[in-house]
Structure 1
Amino acid sequence: MAKLKLGALEDDKPVKVTVELPAAVHRQLVAYADVLARETGKPVPDPAKLIAPMIERFMATDRAFGKARRGPGSRPPQP
């Protein structure tokens, strides 16, 4: 089975945000929650809880965003 980009969800204090999703995106979110539950062995009671980690992962892996966030002329952090 392919490794998903998301792992088990962390328990963190949330900030309330209301968003409307297209029905097709919601169906995909529910399907993702089902696959994640099978892969991790932990049920995902509310597929909406996946939205924040998905956005977080997307932003963390978006190179253009990281470069723009560091600003012009800045260097990436050295290990």
Structure 2
Amino acid sequence: MRHVMLASVLALLATSAANAQAPDAAGAGEITPALRKACEGDYQRFCAGVQPGGGRILQCLKTHGSNLSETCRTALTEHRP
């Protein structure tokens, strides 16, 4: 069951990356494999209900910045869409 949930999360994150637009003022951009790996748990906790695409997952993660794991915060800081 856990593998199915993890596969679903990875599919959602991959879909988000595939649907992402060029960077804009809202912070839309591609989710890199490194960012995906660093933020999987935070995505599950805070953004699982967010529809992928248009930078919405990145924006959700950034909105929860102070609650994110150190690994995810660092990855977001280093992220260059």
**Could you tell me the TM-score, scaled by structure 1's length?**
0.31
Q: Which has the larger radius of gyration?
A: 1
